[in-house]
Structure 1
Amino acid sequence: MSWIREGELSFIERLSANILKAGPMPKHVAFIMDGNRRYARKRHVERQEGHTQGFEKLAETLRWCLNLNIREVTVYAFSIENFKRSKEEVDGLMELARQKFKKLLEEQENLEKHGVCIRVLGDLELLPLDLQQLIAQAVVATRTHNKCFLNVCFAYTSRHEITNAVKEMAWGVEQGLIKSSDVSESLLSKCLYSSSSPDPDLLIRTSGEVRLSDFLLWQTSYSCLVFQSVLWPEYSFWNLCEAILQYQLNYQSLQRAQEQHWEEQALQQLEADRSCVAELMRQHGSGTVADTQDRRKLLLSYTLKREERVQGFLSALQNKRDSFFHNLTSQAVLA
């Protein structure tokens, strides 16, 4: 089964898609693809078959998203919590992942045709080495594609991601790349696995569960959350349309909340910069400077230096992450 399934929508699907596209459309949709095991029980087949059908549904859903001009999709493929399942099921999921990433590497021409960039988000060091290498090859091979993006959260939980982001900032402070005063909500966002992507506009969970299960907790603070009762392998184009309609109905309130948050975040950063400037002036015995223009110059200078430090740190962090993938790819070539 191909990662990107070819084919056009039916006439009635195209008509419905065009009607939907007249309203605000989500640019980034996240899926918690829940219900594979229940589907297997319902159909009286092995769990592994349920997971296989779930992957096939992902390929079909990606086709729908492309036809709806949704250019970024993030999926919850394997939680760190899933390692607690039976060894047989975990081994089966690892083998399924091997098969699908090998298939992806065979489909590079098709992925290049659609401009699909594959990103894998999570703690890959928790995975078997051969699977890490396959994933790294897929990520590196599609890195320059920029028409649409598929983010696969594998060996992932949001709390683990946030904890890792805090560790990355601590590393930056230890290396002298940033100061502890540079740490902020905005910087933490840029240290997440998902830092290359905008936050999802719409998050969809199937199977009737109404919780996030530790998925994109930080990134979905201002997203539209839609919980649908259908099992993931039975998901349809019409289920996706229903979720997009829910997004459109709530679009204005979501936008207002997001814009208010951005304004508050900017004010918080400004206040933090002012506090740092005031402390520096006090330390240098110039806390009595009365000229407002001088204070503004000092604040602007400090802000520019902070932004320069932060950009240097983020570049170093990206280089570290790129090296991880390139080293795995080199190991795979030598193996």
Structure 2
Amino acid sequence: MGSLLDWLAHFPPLLWGLEHVEEIVIRALQHGKVPQHVAFVMDGNRRWAREHRVETIEGHSLGFEALKNLLRVCLKMGVKEVSAFAFSIENFKRSKHEVDTLMDIAKNSLTQITAHGDMVDQYGIRIRIVGDLARLKPDVYETVVNVVESTKNNTRATLNVCFPYTSRHEISNSVQSIVHLAEDEKIVPEDIDEALFEKNLLLNDSLPLDWLIRTSGVERLSDFLMWQVHEDSQISFIDNYWPDFSIWRFFPMLIRFQLESQQDA
């Protein structure tokens, strides 16, 4: 069903009808449990490009479009927070050409999504860039600072762009922050507990993670949100590569999420 609707979506005469179907489906799904924090491991852009015999950059560019579409639908349904694993610190081991390309795509994508009248304005999105920002190129870092600053007062929804990120870095960063507090005598050993540790995480004020989705058929978390995943989080692994993960594949998964949530309740 998802493949058929994806195919039909390329035909303008049917686009109007699909948009109305989308609205109907969203309204129906709003009667069930809507996850408040959804995370995506956007895997498979390079493999998608190889299978379609196109440049890797096209796979990454289509991956950004897939994220925009899913983000739009999530916000329409009432999801309050979306976290996207955009770039792992481990990706710096790739070729310089690919790393530079990914950095440029990230820079252009952030600029595009925050353009006046685009999604950020429409849905009141606060954007956070979460990760080891010291590794970014100066021009990319400047864009990141501008995006975060320009959206910091938006309160309707949050998009966490994890870039460049690993959970190991986030956890070790929290430990280092606590060590510095102790060295500066701002805390005593008795103050160190789970709450203090979470307070010093990069994602310290995030909502509990309800649902994590990973594409491409790989069944592992790859050092993403390891602390945030908890016993009530649902995790879904699907075979589709990220550029092929459309809203029409997302909707059936959300129905299953709602059914499983009812069973757990």
Equivalent AA in structure 2 for residue 249 of structure 1: L
Aligned length: 249
Shift of 1:98: 2.0
Rate the CA distance shift 1:191–1:109 in 2: closer, same or farther, 3 A: same
Aligned to 1:163: 172
Residue 12 of structure 1 pairs with residue 21 of structure 2: yes
CA distance in structure 1 between the partners assigned to 2:102 and 2:114 by the alignment: 18
1:230 to 224, 231, 240: 240
- Alignment of 1:199 onto 2:208: yes
Residues 123 and 253 of structure 1: CA distance in aligned 2, closer, same or farther (over 3 Å):
farther
Offset at 1:8?
A: 10
Whether contact under 8 Å (1:104, 1:138) holds in the other structure is: no
2:194 is aligned to 185
TM (norm. structure 2) is: 0.88
Q: What residue is the counterpart of 1:247 in the other structure? A: 257
Q: In 2 relative to 1, CA 254–124 (structure 1 residues): closer, same or farther, beyond 3 Å?
A: farther
Please list the CA deviations of residues 161-196 of structure 1 after superposition, one character each: whole Å capped at 9, or x if unmatched. Answer: 001011111111112222121111222112111112
Post-superposition offset of 1:79? 0.2
Residue type of the partner of 1:247? F
Structure 1 stretches of at least 4 aligned residues deviating more than 4 Å after TM superposition: 252-255
**Percent of pairs with identical residues:** 42
The structure with higher relative contact order (CA 8 Å, sep 6+) is 2
Q: 2:126 aligns with which of 114, 117, 123?
A: 117
Q: Which residue matches 1:295?
A: none
Q: Which runs of 5+ in 2 are unaligned?
A: 1-15
Please state how far the C-alpha of 1:107 moved relative to its aligned partner: 3.0
Question: Equivalent residue for 2:94?
Answer: 85
2:53 pairs with 1:52 = no
> Are 1:141 and 2:137 an aligned pair?
no
The corresponding residue for 2:13 is none
TM-score when normalising by structure 1:
0.70
For 1:230 and 1:110, the matched residues in 2 are separated by: 25
Counterpart secondary structure, 1:106: coil
**1:256-300: CA deviations, max 9, x gaps?**
xxxxxxxxxxxxxxxxxxxxxxxxxxxxxxxxxxxxxxxxxxxxx
SS in structure 2 of the partner of residue 229 of structure 1:
coil
Distance 2:104 2:19 in 1: 34
CA contact (8 A) 1:224 1:254 kept: no
Deviation at 1:122, TM superposition (A): 0.3
Q: Indicate the structure with greater helix content.
A: 1
Supply the AA of the counterpart residue of 1:84.
Answer: K
Maintained 8 Å contact 2:45/2:63: yes
**Larger radius of gyration, structure 1 or 2?**
1
Please report how far the alpha carbon of residue 9 of structure 1 lies from its aligned counterpart in structure 2 after TM superposition: 6.5
Q: Structure 1: which 5+ residue stretches go unaligned?
A: 1-6, 256-335
Note if contact 2:84-2:161 (Cα within 8 Å) is conserved in structure 1: yes
